[in-house]
Amino acid sequence: MSHHIVEVKDLHYTYPGETRKALSGVSFRILHGEAVGIVGANGAGKSTLLRHLNGYWAPREGSVRIGDYPVTPRTVKQVRRTVGMVFQDPDDQLFMPTVFDDVAFGPLNLGFSPEEVALRVTRALETVGAAHLAERPPHRLSGGEKRAVAVATVLSMTPDILVLDEPTSNLDPRARRKVIELLHGFVHTRIVATHDLDMVLALCPRTIVMREGRVEADGPTLDIFNDAELLDRCHLEKPFSMQACPVCSRATLPARQP
């Protein structure tokens, strides 16, 4: 099966009015059903890369292939159907007056019948455990609920590939745990850009590390998180769950003055 593959080849991008390249020669290939974490410091190029994956920007230099289609203005519709993008701030993602309308927005644009749309909305909301929120306005939801609904808005379009930008930011620990469990249960190809390295560890067997618009490392998550020198160079730190227990290692902290 080739249609769930994401292939980026020598991708470059410079923001208008800037001289420094936001992306300079990014290449990788993500296969069907893989879960990949994309990590890196602020400004390493993660968000710029994500915007290329659903055709918001067509590549000017280099190429992006989603399944059988190269991303070009002609194929953008098909690409957006294949790639479901969950944005960092759910307030940006949820723009309709009620949760139902929001989850129905994608399928309606795809031209499904009202019955089919209702079915898809119910199914997507049930998947994320938010069926009871259907009639609520999005601005009344809690952070965790908003995040779940944001994922549902994309699921209702039945994409093959999910791209998530910081899915666990601004969530309380339990809501974060729930989002991770939800994503863990999916069979889609998943690409997760984040600073939450513990989530990457829990969710993604493979990690791509970005630094200054380039792919600095690409490999098994455990190998990467054990490479202290690499992490330091990229402004990252070992996930908490791989560090020594904070209680036991308290002796290593500088003693406090009374």
Partner 1 sequence: MKGVESGLLDFSRLEMLAAGDSPVHRLDPRTKVLVTAAFLVFVVLHGKYDLAGLAPLALYPVAAMALSGLPAGYILGKLLLASPFVLLVGVWNPVLDRGILVTVGGLPISGGWISFASIVVRFALTLSAALILIATTGFDQVCRGLSRLYAPKAFVLQLLLLYRYIFVLAGEAARMVRAFRLRNLSDERPAMRTYAALLGSLLVRALDRAQRIHMAMLSRGFDGEIRMSRPMRLRLADAAWAAFWIAFFILVRRYDIPGLLGQIVIAH
Can you give the binding site for partner 1, defined by CB under 8 A? 51, 54, 56, 77, 80-81, 83-85, 87, 89, 91-93, 95-98, 101, 104-106, 108-110, 114, 117-118, 137-139, 153-154, 157
Q: How far is CA 218 from CA 108, 109, 184, 226, in A?
A: 38, 36, 21, 13
Q: How far is the CB of 159 from partner 1 (least distance, A)?
A: 10
Strands (E), the chain: 6-13, 23-30, 35-40, 61-66, 69-70, 83-86, 161-165, 189-193, 206-211, 214-220
Quote the CA–CA distance of 199 and 32 in Å, as a whole number. 20
E strand or H helix at 53: helix 46-53
Cα dist from 57 to 148, 222, 228, whole Å = 26, 32, 34
Nearer to partner 1, 15 or 240 (CB): 15
Q: What is the nearest approach in angstroms of partner 1 to the Cβ of residue 84?
A: 8
86 vs 130 by CB, closer to partner 1: 86
Nearer to partner 1, 51 or 177 (CB): 51
Minimum distance from CB of 66 to partner 1 (Å)?
12
- The β-bridge partners of 100 are none
**Which of 16/173 has CB closer to partner 1?**
16
Nearer to partner 1 among residue 110 and residue 202 (C-beta)? 110
- Minimum Å gap between C-beta 172 and partner 1 is 19
d(CA 44, CA 165): 14
Q: And the tokens for 198? A: 């513990």
Least separation in angstroms between residue 100's CB and partner 1 is: 8
Which residue number, 150 or 215, has a Cβ lying nearer to partner 1?
150
Instruction: Find out whether 200 and 221 touch, Cβ atoms under 8 Å.
Output: yes
Q: How far is the CB of 139 from partner 1 (least distance, A)?
A: 5
Separation CA 101–CA 113 (nearest Å):
14
